[in-house]
Structure 1
């Protein structure tokens, strides 16, 4: 980002001078010079957008105080606006200047001024279909009479038409043609971050016609998902769910965005991971089995590629807990059986793992732990091995509910647990740490030392504190000691 800003600042001054020359004289020479430099200027605009989209509006005006002058000069140059590609990138840049929550009169004036430029461009935007004519004929205005205040009315008009079209279904006399919806989605690509266009974006995402193929263009889905990930747009969970169900690459990019955050963030901060996932609406959207299966498969591949990285394991466990909470909140009587979400797992094992420790007296935690250990041993080493996949499938299911492994570790520290079922708990922990090992290797792995012991302890303490918070465990002194040790270990790691 810093290198991009340095390079862009040098180009910025060059193009500012060029635009001033082109703006002051309309001679044959300046027209020829404009056409000659147009490809390089378009590339500059594209680079400018890539930088602006990562900044908020106040930072943009602070870093580029004359950005408004530059974009205004572009808007007045007919040779630049003659190309659709230039128009699109220019609109993207202008949208970055709009502050959704202006904090003072200066930001409000900038918003109004920017919307005025956008209206000017939109009035001359050359669409494949006569969208401008549709707006103006319906509202009784000529294209030159566009004002920022009319944007809201235009959008509401289209939203109403889309919803009416959706309700009428096969009523072909009042039905919007698929080609027109496709063109409308393409027109919206550079406009998705404008607050005024959010109702139209939502209406397009939730629109379902009777066409056999997708009518919204892929670029529209990409633009909406990028704006959502960058928090440039606010949409309800239902619209995001439609986005991911209709365009798989958007969901995949969202998961890659999550993994990227995990890689570049500090380890073992589960509360931060939880907040980030909820901001992405992943647990809520995953209540739909199709979304859950995609998310789950990407976690599976991430674990395989990273050899079970602790960051990915922690993220999977947080996701599962948030997903189960969202599922229970959405509908107490589940619309989908749990087998829909875990089709390759033992149903009885899934039911046992789904038991929330909070609903079980603490003194009885060893009982479900013993059942979980016995069922896993039977699947992995017994006769039912082929019924529910290999050891990895059983391990992958178990680590979804990794708090049971943490509780097993806690139980082993208690005399009562050691007296009741040490072998079952030891096997469970050994299996959790090395699912691919054979029976003999697993026996050698039980309560074993590793080079990464510090990081293991950090993870255990962080997960314990995280779990105590959700289980409302009252343990002031142990909690204080755990936090002190966690702080000390993080300083050494």
Structure 2
């Protein structure tokens, strides 16, 4: 490492001296020497850029105090700027020197000086393969008339030209040539984070020509997407939607970037998830069905790869909720929209699932839930049409909207005085274990029915203890339960503890009995977080203060 630093310092001084010598003489010998060393200078610039891009502007000036002098000499050397590769690398290096948040007049002055150099370099680019300084000539300036505001004026001129080209439509003679669009987008790649370039970036993203192929460079889309994800630029929703709609790799990278933020913590927090999802712009962009299908397929893949991990399931449900909210803001008819977004699901099932829980009074939720259960059961188990069904497809549609169904079913099962409705039992078992066959599902329903009857009997007896709950939760057969069935049992016990006054008195002791492993503690934390997040929408009678206190206590243990 020390040897590399020494070599770089030696090279730096060598090229600074070379540039000074080339600047002072314009003889044929100097020109020959420049051409002879140009490839070596380009390689040096590449190495410098790899170092500069990892540092902030203050650190750069501290380590390389004369870097501005070196780059300025390169900018004003016509033989260096004659090569597109040199122009590109010089611009990259200059962009690294720009202080994104100048705090002093000196830093602001340095930014202005750097932008002046960028304006000069930009004027040397060739468009449409002609030896014409497009930017300066179009504004009426000679090539020597450079000043710091030139970049801004050039951007405004190009934006106007793009808008006129867009309005001309099929008038091919008045439209900007595809080759020039491609060249212009390539020029913008190293400059997308400059504030003065924002209007041009937006104009390029929202420009829609009539060519059969994309007219903008993929490197441009990648650079804009990277800057947007790292919050180095701010774009309006229309520009972001256009970016992801026109460049699939950018959409996929944005979705993966969101997944990394959502699943970086081992503890599920739905409010944090909601905040991250809203800030990602993906729900707004997913109002375009084509974008939604890509994001939804990526959620599907992660669900399959993680075997239905709770955090992935929760993220999908929060994302769907944000999407529905975005659709309503766009005043799209939700029932019609759902047929577009979920073409493989029965329209009646999607419509039934998408009912907002707030629109269903607490005392009238039984019939809608039984209706959903019937529709799902027919889709999963009806073999009269002579073709095998894929339970996952129906379950995948179900879980998009199933967060409120999960809590509402648990509450109803513990409120019903009569025999627990089989439809609710089936719905709860299917939600947690869609891969089970009919026979295994029926067995789980029998166990849950026995548990619910025991719990209701304990509540009617007037006395409830943690020991009673533990005994009631034991398997009727005495055999160990499957993991999913055990999870369902804990859900019902926690629901009873939170939603009944009798449960409040023994909640701490009962949870201590249940939370015997780290996995179960994390499971209970997730349940409590979901209860707090969704209880306000369901208007359930769960004690929010008790749930918050319990959640805080358990989180302190992990």
| Aligned counterparts, 1:362-373, within 5 A | 362-373=362-373
- Of structures 1 and 2, the larger Rg is shown by 2
| Aligned counterparts, 1:204-353, within 5 A | 204-333=204-333, 337-353=337-353
Give the TM-score taking structure 2 as reference length: 0.77
Measured in 2, the distance between the counterparts of 1:111 and 1:420 equals 75
The equivalent of 1:184 in structure 2 is 184
Measured in 2, the distance between the counterparts of 1:353 and 1:384 equals 24
Compute the displacement of 1:466 (Å): 1.8
Compute the displacement of 1:221 (Å): 1.4
**Structure 2: unaligned runs, 5 residues or longer:** 23-28, 449-484, 488-516
How big is the alpha-carbon RMSD for the aligned residues of Structure 1 and Structure 2? 3.3
Give the TM-score taking structure 1 as reference length: 0.86
Measured in 2, the distance between the counterparts of 1:468 and 1:7 equals 63
Compute the displacement of 1:84 (Å): 2.8
Compute the displacement of 1:22 (Å): 3.6
Instruction: Flag the 1:378–1:201 CA change in 2: closer, same or farther, 3 A.
Output: same
| Aligned-partner SS, 1:214 | coil
| Aligned-partner SS, 1:264 | coil
2:116–2:151: 8 Å Cα contact kept in structure 1?
no
Compute the displacement of 1:218 (Å): 1.4
1:16–1:70: 8 Å Cα contact kept in structure 2?
no
Structure 1 window deviating more from structure 2 (89-98 vs 281-290): it is: 89-98
In the alignment, structure 1 residue 484 sits paired with structure 2 residue 487: no
The equivalent of 2:475 in structure 1 is none
1:244–1:250: 8 Å Cα contact kept in structure 2?
yes
In the alignment, structure 1 residue 449 sits paired with structure 2 residue 486: yes
In the alignment, structure 1 residue 74 sits paired with structure 2 residue 71: yes
Alignment size in residue pairs: 480
Measured in 1, the distance between the counterparts of 2:231 and 2:219 equals 18
Counterpart of 1:45 (choices 29, 36, 48) is 48
Compute the displacement of 1:72 (Å): 4.0
Instruction: Flag the 1:49–1:308 CA change in 2: closer, same or farther, 3 A.
Output: farther
Measured in 2, the distance between the counterparts of 1:114 and 1:382 equals 70
Compute the displacement of 1:297 (Å): 1.0
CA offset digits 1:335-355 (Å, max 9, x no partner):
953211000111111111111
The equivalent of 1:167 in structure 2 is 167
CA offset digits 1:397-416 (Å, max 9, x no partner):
1111132343236415x642
2:369–2:409: 8 Å Cα contact kept in structure 1?
no
In the alignment, structure 1 residue 118 sits paired with structure 2 residue 94: no
Compute the displacement of 1:237 (Å): 0.9
Measured in 1, the distance between the counterparts of 2:128 and 2:202 equals 22
2:128–2:179: 8 Å Cα contact kept in structure 1?
no
Instruction: Flag the 1:170–1:110 CA change in 2: closer, same or farther, 3 A.
Output: same
CA offset digits 1:316-341 (Å, max 9, x no partner):
11110000000011115469532110
Counterpart of 1:467 (choices 514, 525, 534) is 534
Measured in 1, the distance between the counterparts of 2:11 and 2:312 equals 45
Instruction: Flag the 1:227–1:347 CA change in 2: closer, same or farther, 3 A.
Output: same
1:169–1:175: 8 Å Cα contact kept in structure 2?
yes
Measured in 1, the distance between the counterparts of 2:118 and 2:311 equals 44
Structure 1 window deviating more from structure 2 (199-208 vs 26-35): it is: 26-35
**Structure 1: unaligned runs, 5 residues or longer:** 53-58
Structure 1 window deviating more from structure 2 (326-335 vs 295-304): it is: 326-335
Instruction: Flag the 1:88–1:32 CA change in 2: closer, same or farther, 3 A.
Output: closer
The equivalent of 1:56 in structure 2 is none
Measured in 2, the distance between the counterparts of 1:287 and 1:396 equals 19
Measured in 1, the distance between the counterparts of 2:129 and 2:291 equals 34
